[in-house]
Structures are given as C-alpha cells and as structure tokens.
Amino acid sequence: MIDSLNHLPLAAGDGASLAQKFTDLAPPLTARQAAIESARCLYCYDAPCTRICPTEIDVASFIRNIHDDNVNGAAVGILSQNIMGGACSRVCPVEILCESACVRNHDAEGQPVKIGLLQRYALDNATLKEHPFQRAPSTGRKIAVVGAGPAGLSAAHRLAMLGNDVVVFEAREKAGGLNEYGIAKYKLTDNFAQKEVDFLLSIGGIEVQHGRVLGVNLHLADLQAQYDAVFLGLGLTASKQLGLTGEDAPGLMAAIDYIAALRQASDLATLPVPRRAIVIGAGNTAIDMAVQIQRLGAEEVTLVYRRGFDAMSATWHEQEIAKANNVRIKVWSAPLQVLQEANGVVRGMRFERTQMVEGKLVGTGEVFDIEADAIFKAIGQSLAPGALSDPLAQQLARKGDKIVVDDFFRTVVPGVYAGGDCVAPGQDLTVQAVQHGKLAAMAIHQDLQSKVEAA
C-alpha cells in the first residue's frame, strides 16, 4: 500500500494550491457552446455513434433534444440506457468510440461533434425533480449483487427498476468501484462519483452493505441459498506482479493503490511524492498515474513500456495528456531488475531494450538504468486472490483470471451471473461494465419470471 512510500517527502505546497492542479481536465460546455455544438449534429439515420456506443445510447436523439432546448428529455434518454452516463461522459474514451465514428470526423470538418461534452451538459444541467424511473410492482424476488462498482450498481438499479429487491455487498467503505477509487482525480472532480451513486440508489429497493468481502465474510454458497439470484461484479482489484526480485522493496507499489489514496485524500499535501518516478505500463491507468504524480510535484516522471507506441492500450488522447504534462514515455524497454539502496529502498530500475523478431517480442541484450525514488506498477489488474476461494466459487469456469459467462451473463453455477471487468471477454471500460450490469439484470429478471410462469 502507500506505506511503501513513507520514507519519501510530502508533496510540496499547500493543499489548496495542489487541488488547483486537479480541476476538470475538460471544462464543461456553456449553454451557448452546447447550442452551437448540438447544431453540428446531422442526426444521422442509423447513426454510427449510437451503433458503437457500448450502452446503446441514442446519441442523435439526445443531441436533438439539447438543440431543441429540452435538456431534461436529453438526460432521461441517456439515463434510460446508461444510468451512470454522467461518469461515462467524463471518463469514456470517446476518441475511439462515438466521436471516432461520427460522420463529421474527417479532415474537411476538422473534428467530430463533441458527443461526450454534450452528454455531460445534458446530465449536469437537467432539472429532474425526482428519480426519472419508477419501480415496477414488486416481484417478491431478492437478488444479491457482489461489488458496488459500475457493473454491480448498474445491475442493482435495473433489477430494482424491474421490481426486484436488491442487496449489494461491497468490500470498501464507499460504493462506486473504479469511479470512486481508480480514476484520475482531474477526470471525476467535486465528489461526482458519490453524487452519482446517491442518485442511482434513490430509485429505492437497493440496500448496500459495506465491509463484505467475498471469500472472507461473504460466501457464494450462502448467497446462492439465500437469494433468488446472485450477480458478481467483482472488478479487478489486485495489481499484477512484475515477477522481479525486490518487488516488495519500499518505494515500489501498485499504481492503483496510489491513485486510490490520492482520490480519497482530503489534503493532497499529505501525500508522499518522489522527486523522480517510473511508471511501468501502457494503459490509461499508467497515464493517470504518471500525470498525477507529475502534477503533485515530481520533477521527472518516466513511463516505460516494453513494446512500441502503436501497441499501447492508452488511447492517443491519453498519450497526448501525458506529453502535455511533461511525462517522458520510453518504449521498447522491459523491466529487468529493481535497483535498491543499501538500506533496501528503491533507487531505480534496470531495463533491457526490446524488439520484435518474427512477430515475437525479444530482448536485445542491451541494458540501461533509470534512477528513481519510486516505481509504480500499472501492468494490469486481476481478481483478488481470495475472491473465488470458496468451494462453490471454485466451480466457476475461468479463462485466465476472468470468469466465463454465456451471452446472458450466466456462469456455469446455477443462479449465478457475472459481468464487468471480471468476465471474459471484456474491454475493462466503465461504459462496458455498465452495459454488462444492465443486460445481466434483464437476463436475471427474465429467467426468474420464466420460472414463475413455468410453475
């Protein structure tokens, strides 16, 4: 955890000045800007932006509503498909999804319609007096949801809307999952993640129990016996290992742990900050980590990846954010050895230059060192080690470290469903997790209703 950095100095400056470095990455549109931008939309028939949206939001329709000054209508349209549309409008990689598919996204136009910012405008400016969706008559069914991240919360909301009662079991003290603990602070500001959770829960029929950990004080066999169905939205909360000696040295830690501490810190000046930092990885989490540690005052931040730029999972937009924040990105370099001081603390890392030979990544034998006071791993996450340790949970079919489900998110264990980052296949995107939860909830409801009709 972050205790690994306790030997480092605290962030320079006071909390207020540091907080100013974590304001909105993309400031919201004004009413005038939203009017102009919505007028650019061609309201395409069979719009490609809608077809590529993982949650199937009717993009052209909500933008038309904004253009017609019907902001509430736009918001309800978005929320009917994506109950966490506010967070997704801020964190979704629109540059490879809806905005990439926009018919205006070509050289002559210069840029696509700003769909993400328009979605945010609609949800931030809606004046809904009550929750926009009413619960259906009670089904008398009770469903357990494990994990209060985007997938679990989305499933819980849709199940409640369909008339079921839901109990959500969450390990941490706050609901929200990745949105609360794992997103860069400058992407979700002003406690937005919790505001969205409160809104989602206001539909009623959902109870959240905190401090409940699957495999520790919560067991799948008990849930299966006590509830009509179980949905597993476990997420991927454990950082993968580099497999190097010295990986437990003070100064080396998982990026997700530091990001979580940063997001929960009431005063950023209390965080330890290295003068020189290395971030290992090539995804959006690696970028988030590198940019944030730079903004906290690190003098030199180097993001290192074993392959080339074109293989990075971080989008070009995220890479540009890193460059704009003076993060050095070094590719074709694989971690080889953790370098330590005599007292054991990290002093840097040795890397081997890599190359592709006949489609395989190989080392060249050329090595080099990068000096650093801290190293942050952002090489992917996996299921928590004990999450599926129960005898019943061990029966779940797995592909690598992910749970196998069918097209309706059913696992091989009767009455147990799963979705979000913990299932295969998956893209590890918030917006996809929301869709998984929604579709799984509809499948659960339909399966339970079919049993009633059969009886």
Residue 384: the pLDDT is 85
CA distances from 138 to 39, 83, 91, 121, 328 (A): 43, 21, 34, 34, 56
Q: Cβ(202)–Cβ(196) under 8 Å?
A: no
Does the pLDDT at position 426 exceed 70? no
- Range 31-125 classified under CATH 3.30.40.230: no
| pLDDT mean over 194-212 | 97
- Range 142-237+383-454 classified under CATH 3.30.110.60: no
Query: In the chain, what percentage of residues exceed pLDDT 70?
Result: 98
The helix (run of H) or strand (run of E) holding residue 398 is: strand 398-399
**Nearest alpha carbon to residue 257 among 176, 375, 421, 373:** 375
Alpha-carbon distance of 196 to 62, in angstroms, equals 20
- Residue, of 382 and 437, whose pLDDT is higher: 437
Q: Which CATH number fits domain 240-380: 3.40.50.300, 3.50.50.60, 3.40.710.10, 3.90.1150.10?
A: 3.50.50.60
Q: Quick one: residue 400, left, alpha or beta (phi over 0 = left, psi -120 to 50 = alpha)? A: left
Strand partners, 276: 300
Residue 1: the pLDDT is 63
| pLDDT mean over 302-309 | 97
Does the pLDDT at position 448 exceed 90? yes
Q: Which of 37-51, 54-68, 275-289, 379-393 has the lowest mean pLDDT?
A: 379-393
Q: What are the sequence ranges of the domains in the chain?
A: 31-125, 142-237+383-454, 240-380
Residue 264 pLDDT grade (very low, low, confident, very high; cuts 50, 70, 90): very high
Does the pLDDT at position 305 exceed 70? yes
Tokens of 276: 């020189």
Does the pLDDT at position 437 exceed 60? yes
**Would you say the CATH fold of 240-380 matches that of 142-237+383-454?**
yes
| pLDDT mean over 194-220 | 96
Alpha-carbon distance of 290 to 239, in angstroms, equals 16
Residue 412: the pLDDT is 97
